[in-house]
Chain A
Amino acid sequence: MRRPLNRREFLRTAAAVGGAAAAPALLKLRPAWAQGKKVPVGSLLDKTGGINIYGLPAIAGTEFAVAEINAKGGLLGKQLELIQYDTQSDIANFPKFAKKLILEDQVAVIHGGITSASRESFRPVIDEYKQLYFYNIIYEGGVCDKYVFVTGETPTQQMGPIAKYALKKYGTKAYTVAADYNFGHISWKWWDIFWRNGGGLEPVAGKKGQHVGKVEFIPLDVTDFNATINRIQEAKPDVLMSFLVGGAHINFYRQFAAAGLKNKIPIVSTTFGFGNEHIVLDAKEVEGLVACYPYFDELDNAQNRTFKAGMKKKMGDPNYYIGDAGAESYNGWHFWAKGVQKAGSFEREAVTKALESGIEWDSPMGRVKMDPASHHTVFTMHLAAVNNKRGWNVIESFPNIPPTETMQLCDLIKNPNQHTQFQPK
């Protein structure tokens, strides 16, 4: 017969079992990077699926940046350990893998997210766990979140120059095709504002611009654009704005050219090119299309020459075109690294404070600056047209354009508890 435990024995056993169970939990409170030689850092990008036209260059830029930081001795004497998960162009993967990066891998920072739908799917996770996060891609603007830093461009930076150029060169009658999710819808609202105001956020006194006119929202998996193209022909616009996104939408440009419209209706876009669509398509299909980005491989400066040589070597392809998505991911990692170095710490509060001191540096896209209040980036923007050599010709450059639409609403130094996304009314 088993002897029942007396009180003292029970307490001793309970304490031992409880202590053993609690010990790893206590250890876990201190993140792994506080002790180890390596610091885990996380990246969530779409390596496969329809969004991978942006994901693949962004992954290349990410891997290159982390390798570069490590080759120079790492950060604060520690090597970075890059943990990447393929989010497979599936929104459901983002919150799942973000939690995994935070709780299991205990990363010091998360970079990534491509579509705005994916970003908004896991931003609540970022906020819940107070995780430092970098979003390194062009988007519709307005994210105002203490834990988030944005190194991609926003509507003012792209649509301002594009609207001015298109209104002057092509005319006032526009037609818009947009991806049917939050990015396309919000972008179109901004586009209407910039179009009406002649390329500015506010109306010019004494001048009343036209509304931007018809828009068609197109789901991401649509591959046949026959009806859309015929409707565009009916509307006879002076210019077509494209907010199309992803692998399936690339077909639009090809089918548009096949209908013989390439030389009849000019296209401008805030999305064409950052997934290197100009490489997939033929010059005779898209030559002359106008876009506006802070980075093109064609930019000539010392940092870019080194960056291009390094990326070409990494990819093993002398003709590799990096594009905006690759360069922005690269910049995101370096912004974070500069924040860590300045802070002398990997802790979120310290790094955020350092980044809010206004970090500026010479990147492959030229001088870039983190705006302290809005956590967004100030760039020199370049308006450029697709040429016939699978590249771009810069038409005009606009130095130091701030992300005004977000800056005028967002002040995270004054309101540090903000975790929102502003939208045009």
Chain B
Amino acid sequence: MSVDTAAIVVLEIVNSITILVLLALGLALIFGMMRIVNLAQGEFFTAGAFTVLSAVRFGHLPLWAGMLLAPVVVAGIGIVIERLIIRRLYGRPLDVMLATWGVSILLIGLITVIFGAVTQGIPFALGNFQVGRYSYPEYRIVMTTVAAGLMLGVSLLFRYTAFGRRARATIANPEMASAAGINTPRMFMLTFGLGAGLAGAAGAIMAPIVGVVPTMGALYIARAFITVVVGGPVVLVGTLSSASALGFIEALISRFSLFQIETAGHCAPPPCAINIGGSAFFGQIALLIFAILLLRLLPQGISGFWRQRR
């Protein structure tokens, strides 16, 4: 393999990991920490993308301003939903699932009513750079930088601020936290809002490379859940390590053909063979198989396994 191909493969792996981190980060707080199976998480992502679309198209704001606005707007939506619905259902996981599913359908409906069911796009103007024979879009690097920034920001927030300590205490033991004078309902609300806001940020950052359509959340929610579940109980480290493992496998299998199966039929040029691996299709399959294997071998997720070993 030549140097430039090796470099491009590394970039592809980083890109796969980036997308998984972006998708999973918000859910890591809501599902990983708060144990809320939030089926509306995909729609928070959608809402972020539509915030950017509205800001650019109707508010005539620059793209970056729309992207800064998106997490704020979506965090607001998240907080309203927490106050109105989720709050009443803590400790009732099945009911929360049903309720957030309803919220998901409601949000898709609302967005469709406002923006129509059409696919829309947000063009962007960044260039590309040369890696040997390949040219690679600069925006992918921006995405990775933002994902790393968000990850670092969330980790610092929970580790070093008063808010973070209170939120962790609340989630670890709500009664004790409450007895210690922490306003626990407020902590739940803010953590949920933060998780929603992060999904909104992900939607905003990915909006320029994907089609913006009310049902787009469905394309991403499964991967978000898989990443968080495989990550296990140590939320941030777990999410990062599972995104890395899954993204690595996905990118590698998307790129390289593992083996060939000879077939009859039409092909150009003959003889006919199907490559196993080496396409986006096999990348997706590999990600799912690997996730299943990991969960079979490490039922507590990657970070759960580490925790046991310690």
> A interface vs B, CB < 8 Å?
47-50, 52-53, 56, 180, 189, 192, 195-196, 211-213, 215-219, 221-228, 230-231, 233-234, 236, 247-248, 250-251, 254-255, 258-261, 264, 280-282, 284-285, 424-425
Q: Specify which of B136, B219, B279, B284 is in contact with A248 (CB 8 Å cutoff).
A: B219
- B251 contact set on A, CB distance < 8 A: 227
For B280, what are the chain A residues with a Cβ–Cβ distance below 8 Å?
A: 216, 218-219, 222, 224-225, 227-228
Contact with A along B270-285 (1 / 0, CB 8 A): 0000000011110110
Known: A224-B19, A233-B133. A189 touches B266 (CB 8 A): yes
Contacts known (A192-B268, A280-B120, A281-B121); A216 close to B211, Cβ less than 8 A: no
Provide the residues of chain B in CB contact with A221, threshold 8 Å: 219
Tell me whether B106 is interfacial, beta carbon within 8 Å. Answer: no
Closest 5 CB pairs of A and B: A260-B128, A282-B123, A211-B268, A211-B269, A258-B137
Shortest CB–CB separation between residue B18 and chain A, in angstroms? Answer: 10
Determine whether the beta carbon of A280 is less than 8 Å from that of B117.
no
User: A236 vs B132: C-alpha distance in the bound complex, in angstroms?
Assistant: 13
Q: What is the distance, in angstroms, from B24's C-beta to the closest C-beta of chain A? A: 15
Bound-state Cα–Cα, A141 to B279, Å: 26
Q: Say whether A251 contacts B210, CB under 8 Å.
A: yes
Total residues of chain B contacting the partner, CB 8 A? 43
Residues of A within 8 A of B135 (CB): 233, 259-261, 264
Decide yes or no: A223 and B123 within 8 Å by CB, A52-B118, A211-B268, A234-B5 being known contacts.
no
**CA–CA, A215 and B279, complex, Å:** 10
26 A-B pairs whose Cβ atoms sit less than 8 Å apart in the complex? A48-B215, A52-B118, A53-B119, A56-B118, A195-B268, A211-B268, A215-B268, A216-B279, A217-B279, A218-B281, A222-B281, A225-B280, A227-B12, A227-B251, A228-B280, A231-B255, A254-B209, A255-B137, A255-B209, A258-B124, A258-B128, A258-B137, A280-B118, A280-B119, A281-B121, A424-B266
Cα of A219 to Cα of B285 in the assembled complex, Å: 11
Contact A282 B121 (CB under 8 A): yes
Q: Point out the residues of chain B lying under 8 angstroms from A282, CB to CB.
A: 121, 123
Chain B residue at minimal CB-CB distance from A192 = B268
Chain B residues contacting A50 (CB-CB under 8 Å) are 213, 215
Decide: A254 near B121, CB < 8 A? Known: A230-B134, A259-B136: yes
* A284 partner residues in chain B, CB cutoff 8 A: 123
Q: Is B166 an interface residue (CB 8 A)?
A: no
What A residues does B126 contact at CB under 8 A? 258
Inter-chain pairs besides A222-B281, A248-B211, A280-B120, 20 sampled, C-beta below 8 Å: A56-B117, A212-B268, A216-B279, A218-B280, A219-B284, A224-B15, A225-B280, A227-B255, A227-B280, A230-B12, A230-B255, A233-B135, A234-B133, A247-B213, A254-B121, A259-B135, A259-B136, A280-B119, A424-B266, A425-B266
**Residues of chain A with a CB closer than 8 A to B254's CB:** 227
For residue B12, which residues in chain A have a CB less than 8 angstroms away from its CB? 226-227, 230
Interchain nearest-CB distance for B278 vs A (Å) = 8
Q: Residues of B contacting A285 with CB < 8 Å?
A: 123
Measured between alpha carbons, how far is A189 from B94 in the docked complex, in Å? 49
B283 contact set on A, CB distance < 8 A = 227
Given contacts A227-B283, A254-B121, is CB(A259)–CB(B137) below 8 Å?
Answer: yes
Given the known inter-chain contacts A247-B119, A248-B219, A280-B120, please indicate yes or no for A259 contacting B128, CB distance below 8 A. yes
